[in-house]
Amino acid sequence: MIRASLLALALGAAPMGAAYAQAKADLVKRGDYLVNGILTCGNCHSPKGPTGDIPGKEFSGGLQFDEPPFKVTAPNITQDRETGIGRWTDAEIKTLLRTGVRPDGVHIAMVMPTGFYHIMTERDLNAVVAYLRTLKPIRNKVADPIYRMPQVEHVFPGGEKPYTESMMKDKVKKGFYLATIAHCMECHTPMEKGVRRFDTRLGAGGFEFPGPWGVSVSRNITSSKTKGIGGWTDAEIKRAITQGISRDGTRLKPPMGYHYYASVSAEDLDAIVAYLRTVPAKE
Ligand code: HEC
Ligand code: HEC
């Protein structure tokens, strides 16, 4: 009897184990697609050389942001237990991504776009964490953050609650979802008195980014036919996003992560364009 049930267990366990391994592999693959694509995590967290991300050092700590409210460095998010997030639990990583609160209770600076991740589906959030777990540990301690006032996050309007998989069946909704987790509108909406005007200037551009490239200014990506991209073809919009080439053929400057967006699937790009077409024109 005991033998028979053990055998049954063994027989039953084998296919279940395989299914589990497959589900896990699918989740990691989805996380890889998101992190290294639409989410552009490495755009901030990977150290840069003259030709972009330094190979073999990805996610080990990157850009420094020195602004009036804070001086912070994008930390090491590899699995190193001392200098990375190897000791964090899955729940701690998820809380950080969704709320900006670290395990020690400190709210991090809003350069880390957590206000755009509240919308993330449960599955995508799990996928990101599963992928982060596969990053080989790299030892690199970044400078401790300096906060000149308590930090807050601004949750992107319409992105307050996690989306469900069924909401993603609607093309425009899916496009809104993808553009939100890509924080497109954070860069493409101007600030007035320290507040991003998502209410009145959504997508109007005009925000400045100083860097080694000089100063780039985000452009109008509303459906305005004269000032925005309303008169562009779908192909022209996709080329700008994935290759960094404007409508007139000129090369666009950083910090937009064109080379990350190059791996976004054709279907997802279609959805993003469908959503951009619905953004009310701003002059
Ligand atoms: C626009 C730049 C930017 C992007 C994009 C970005 N981050 Fe961050 N991230 C930061 C900065 C800066 C901090 C540190 C903020 C601070 O110390 O207050 C941070 C903090 C973190 C932390 C906390 C680590 C610690 O040791 O405290 C984690 C985890 C993290 N980011 C993961 C991610 C993941 C995963 C993605 C992609 C989904 C991502 N980040 C996208 C800039 C960014
Ligand atoms: C980190 C900031 C940042 C993020 C995130 C970002 N952009 Fe941009 N984007 C810019 C800047 C800055 C420029 C202008 C670069 C230049 O003038 O050389 C630009 C240019 C563009 C252009 C070209 C417009 C033109 O007139 O040539 C399009 C289209 C665009 N972005 C769409 C998007 C979409 C869609 C997303 C999200 C998937 C996105 N951007 C995410 C900063 C950003």
Nearest to 239 by CA among 231, 227, 223, 251: 251
> Which helix (H) or strand (E) element contains residue 191?
strand 191-192
How big is the CA angle at 223 (ends 267 and 160), to the nearest 5 degrees? 65
> Which helix (H) or strand (E) element contains residue 272?
helix 266-276
Amino acid identity at 27: L
How many angstroms does the Cα of residue 123 sit away from the middle of ligand 1? Answer: 20
CA distance 178 to 229: 18
Residue-wise pLDDT for 126-137, tens only, equals: 999 999 999 999
pTM for the whole structure: 0.94
Residue 111 Cβ inside 6 Å of ligand 1? The answer reads: yes
Please identify which residue in the block is written with the tokens 């985000």: 218
C-alpha distances (whole Å) from 43 to each of 4, 63, 185, 210, 258 are: 56, 8, 16, 15, 10
Q: Tell whether the model's pLDDT for residue 60 goes beyond 80.
A: yes
Residue-wise pLDDT for 64-78, tens only, equals: 999 999 999 999 999
How many angstroms does the Cα of residue 77 sit away from the middle of ligand 1? Answer: 8
Ligand 1, atom 41: closest residue by C-alpha: 41
Of 13 and 199, the structure prediction assigns the larger pLDDT to: 199
Contact 222, 203 (CB under 8 A): yes
Parallel/antiparallel/unpaired status of strands 191-192 and 214-217:
unpaired
CA distance 207 to 99: 25
Residue-wise pLDDT for 199-251, tens only, equals: 999 999 999 999 889 999 999 999 999 999 999 999 999 999 999 999 999 99
The pLDDT of residue 258 is 97
Residue 279 Cβ inside 6 Å of ligand 2? The answer reads: no
Backbone phi and psi for residue 61, each to the nearest 5 degrees, phi listed first? 120, 135
How many angstroms does the Cα of residue 259 sit away from the middle of ligand 2? Answer: 12
Ligand 2, atom 7: closest residue by C-alpha: 256
Any idea which of 17-26, 48-57, 131-140, 226-235 has the lowest mean pLDDT? 48-57
CA distance 168 to 38: 15
Ligand 1, atom 36: closest residue by C-alpha: 41
Q: Tell whether the model's pLDDT for residue 14 goes beyond 70.
A: no
Residue 125 Cβ inside 6 Å of ligand 1? The answer reads: no
Parallel/antiparallel/unpaired status of strands 195-196 and 191-192:
antiparallel
